[in-house]
Structure 1
Amino acid sequence: MSRNFNASLFRDFILSLPETDAAHDLAHTERVVSNAERLLTEEEADPEIVLAAAWLHDCVVLSKDHPDRKNASRLAAEKAEKFLGECSFPPTKISEVVHAIEAHSFSAGVAPKTIEAKIVQDADRLDALGAIGIARCLMVGGALNRPLYHPGEPLPQQRTPDDTRWT
C-alpha cells in the first residue's frame, strides 16, 4: 500500500457526511476498502487512486427508489473531486479517482476504463455477495417497504423481473 495514503482523512470525511441507508454505511465503505486492498495485492494498479475511490465511492447515496438514482455515482464523483481538490491529494490523479467512482455503480452503466476503476467496481460488487450481500439487500428492501417477492410467481417466468417492486 501507499505509505503516503492518509486513510484517516478519508474516513473522517465519510463520517462528516449525513447518514444514509444502513446498507451504505461506514462498515460497507470499510469492507469495500478492505476488498480493494486485497485486490491490489494481485493487480498492478495505483493504490492511491484505488483507495481514494474506494473510500469515496458512496459519498453520495440516493435510495434505490430515488428518481435520480442512476446519477448517484456521478454525483459522488463530483463531491469526491471537490474534496480531493481541497486536500493534499495529487491533482494529476483526481480525474482517475473520479472515473473509478463513476464506473463503480451497476445502475450508472459506465464501463470501467482503467485497472483502478475495475478494482473499485469489483471491490464494491464483492460486498454485494454472500451473507453480507443478502443482508444488505434485505435491509434496502425493508427500508423501502418492499415485499420479498411476487407471491404468485416468485421466480419470474411469465413476467419481467422488476427490482423496483420486489426485494
Structure 2
Amino acid sequence: MGEQEKKQTVKSTADWVRDRLLTESTGHDWYHIERVTEMAKAIAAEEGADLFVVEMAALLHDLADDKLVASEEEGIQEINNWLVDRSVEKADSAHIIEIIETISFSKGKPLRTLEAKVVQDADRLDAIGAIGIARTFQYAGAKGHVLYDPKANVRTEMTKAEYRSGQGSAIHHFYEKLLLLKDRMNTHTGKKLAESRHAFMEQFLKRFYAEWDGNG
C-alpha cells in the first residue's frame, strides 16, 4: 500500500468512526478519538513509531470496547472486515488488531510493540488532566454512579468484570485508575506529558475535598 493509499484509508476510517461515535455520550465519542489520534501522532513522531499503524489503531481503538459494543469479538471482526475491504496489508492489519486488543487498562495485557505503547499512552493521556476529569464525571453521570461516597472503600486488584460492573463513585475512579496512569506510561514522551496532567488532578482533588467539607 502506497503513501497516498494510506492517506485515503486513514481519511475514510476517520469518517467511518466519526459517523459511529459522534453522538456517543459516555466520554468515548468522536472528539475523544480525535484527541487520542492527534496525541498518538505527536508521540509517534517523537518516538519513531510507524505512523500509519499508530493512526489507524488510534482511530479504531474504541470500536471493540465492551463499554460501547455488545460483543468485543464482533467489534474486532467488524474492524478486521473494514481493514480487509480497504486492502490494508496483512501485517499492518494484524498489528492494528493486536494493538486494539491489548491496550485497555482493564485487560492489563503486556504490549509487544512500540506502536501499541504509543497508542496506549495517548489514550491514557486523554483519561487524565482537565479532559480526564471532565470525562470521569460524564461517564459517571451516564452510568448513574454517585459523585462521591466517603464511606466506600477504594477497590484494588479488580478483575475486568469487577472493574466494569462496580458502582464506585466518580471520585473513587481517580484512585482506582486515573492517579495510577502517570507511573504506567510506556514512552519517554508519554511520561513527560503525564506529569502536568497528573499534578492538575491532584490539585483538583485537594480543592474538591476542601469544598466537600465546607472549607473551600
TM over 0.5: yes
Structure showing greater Rg: 2
What whole-Å deviation, never above 9, does each CA across 1:111-149 have from its counterpart, x for those lacking one?
211111111111100100101001101001001111122
Deviation at 1:33, TM superposition (A): 0.3
Q: Is the 8 A contact 1:50 1:117 kept in 2?
A: yes
> Counterpart of 2:7?
5
1:152 aligns with 2:151: yes
Q: Is the 8 A contact 2:24 2:30 kept in 1?
A: no
**CA RMSD in angstroms, aligned pairs only:** 2.5
2: CA distance, partners of 1:57 / 1:114: 16
1: CA distance, partners of 2:61 / 2:53: 12
2: CA distance, partners of 1:135 / 1:23: 8
TM-score between both structures, scaled by the size of structure 2: 0.64
Deviation at 1:11, TM superposition (A): 1.3
> Counterpart of 1:139?
138
> Counterpart of 1:80?
79
Within-5 A mapping of 1:84-95: 84-95=83-94
Structure 2 CA distance for partners of 1:140 and 1:32, relative to 1, 3 Å? same
Q: Answer 1 or 2: which has greater helix percent.
A: 2
Name the SS for the 2:7 alignment partner. coil
1:54 aligns with 2:54: no
Q: Is the 8 A contact 1:21 1:63 kept in 2?
A: no
Mark the runs of 5 or more structure 2 residues left unpaired by the alignment: 157-161, 171-216
Deviation at 1:9, TM superposition (A): 0.6
Aligned partner letter, 2:121 = D
Deviation at 1:51, TM superposition (A): 0.7
What whole-Å deviation, never above 9, does each CA across 1:138-162 have from its counterpart, x for those lacking one?
0010011111222335xx4xx6468
TM-score between both structures, scaled by the size of structure 1: 0.81
Number of equivalences = 157
Aligned partner letter, 1:50 = V
Within-5 A mapping of 1:115-130: 115-130=114-129
Identity %: 32
Structure 2 CA distance for partners of 1:160 and 1:52, relative to 1, 3 Å? closer
Name the SS for the 2:62 alignment partner. coil
2: CA distance, partners of 1:126 / 1:76: 24
Deviation at 1:43, TM superposition (A): 1.0
> Counterpart of 1:27?
31
1:107 aligns with 2:109: no
> Counterpart of 2:44?
40
2: CA distance, partners of 1:107 / 1:90: 29
Deviation at 1:91, TM superposition (A): 2.2
